[in-house]
Amino acid sequence: MELTNLTIAQIHQGLIKKDFSASELCKTFLDKIKEKNKEIFAFLQVCEDLALSKAKEIDDMILAGYEIPLLAGVPSAIKDNILVENIPCTAGSKILEDYIAPYDARVVKKLKDQGVVILGKTNLDEFAMGSSTENSAFGPTRNPLDLTRVPGGSSGGSAAAVAARLSVFTLGSDTGGSIRQPSSFCGVVGLKPTYGAVSRYGLIAFASSLDQIGPIAKTVEDCQIVFNAIKGKDEMDSTSVEVSKIENYRSKRRASSSPPLRRSVIENLCIGVPKEYFVKGINPEVERVIKLAIKKYEEMGAYIKEISLPHTEYALPCYAVISCPEASANLARYDAIKYGEIKNKKLKIKSLFDYYLIARGEGFGAEVRRRIMLGTYALSAGYYEAYYLRAQKIRTLIKNDFERAFKEVDLIFAPVSPFLPFKIGERINDPLSMYLSDIYTVSVNLVGFPALSLPIGKAAPLQNGGDGLPVGLQIIGKPFEEDKILEIGKLYASN
């Protein structure tokens, strides 16, 4: 039995039946991390003592005859912008290199309460700003399926850890596609929940109106289990929503949905396919694999309908003009006084301004500095109305597009990325080309809806063929209808 290939349910059954212990399982994963992490670099920190201690605790509970939760003893990893008490949390940045988290993020506390074993913290683009995990101050993560290629970003370490079987599941954060795009590139499942469905307390903020924590796993079932464990209202996050209110919202939406679901989850389901997502620029192989998946759902009984999201072309610039000012405001606190320190002690500092200039210039990478400058400019006097305020108005138009579409359809199917995983170094010096990675994902963050990245097959790179690289289908749902998109995702694997 290859323990690292087991699902959450299989692990639970194995522990109950005493086929293996939580400690044996934990050691197996830790050994694999020691073997593989040097070449993949999915982990920034490995918490061996914490993991083994928790695994032993679960073993003791089983030996004492206690019932254990479904997630008890399951090895996991946490993106390194989510706080785990007494463990370093760098956000992939030099400015937080020595920062130790003083408390647990709410999602981490919920997982700990379930008995989850935390193996370590995963690599990411600095402050979650990037689409390739090349922007990490500590080095890039490599795609386990092809070590010459990126795993996507910014949750590239989290997706790579799952794909390489270094963790059963991981947590990531998604501001403009940072769970879905790396999940697609690594051939795993990633869920970006509805804004407010999961608490952001303990997440190092990038853009507060867009950020959302979500799970990455091998299977849709595992993703659903983890999501159900971390969702819900948190008094420390005013944007989070009561589970009861989510259920009421779902009931109302189901009562007014058209067409109704009958007999099975797929029969009479109306799936919208935005024509704006299949235009010049998409890799032909990606388009082919996505359309084959859509055809498969049609054969299962779904009704496929072409829809229009007319303001799609404005989504990426709108996202940039909203996210960069929010990043500028959120990152103002990192001044090497409250967090970090200037490493070069030989520098002569004449004023507080000099200190800030040196600290932030030394502590932040190029991409973070770029976004801070863009954001500060967009918020400055005389430009706020021209840029930030105007972008918020466009955001409303984009949301209106989705709401109109969901009056006609139950779900929206689209690609996650317009292209396949690209080579390391291929786009790092061309920011505009890099930003195009998120062209199909940022709209979902702007409107706050849930979306799933579902691996649906492989497409060979156009240059050399071979075994092919993974392609992800993006399944977008109505607010708080995560269960529906997850159930639809499960059907693909079972048919």
Task: List residues with catalytic annotation.
Answer: 79, 154, 178
Q: What are phi and psi of 119, to 5 degrees?
A: -80, -30
What stretch of H or E contains 359?
helix 352-363
Per-residue CA distances from 200 to 22, 81, 244, 322 (Å): 29, 11, 19, 18
Give the span between the Cα atoms of 23 and 20, in whole angstroms: 8
Q: Are the CB atoms for 76 and 169 separated by under 8 Å? A: yes
Token reading at 163: 């794909």
DSSP letter (8 states) at residue 153: S
Q: Report helix, strand or coil for 29.
A: helix
d(CA 216, CA 258): 31
Helices 8-16 and 48-63, axial angle in degrees (round to 10): 50
3-state secondary structure of 60: helix
- Report CA torsion sign: 427, 371, 136, 395: negative
Q: At 326, is the secondary structure helix, strand, or coil?
A: helix
How far is the CA of 139 from the CAs of 47, 101, 122, 494, in angstroms? 19, 22, 12, 38
Answer whether 197's CB lies under 8 Å from 249's CB.
Answer: no
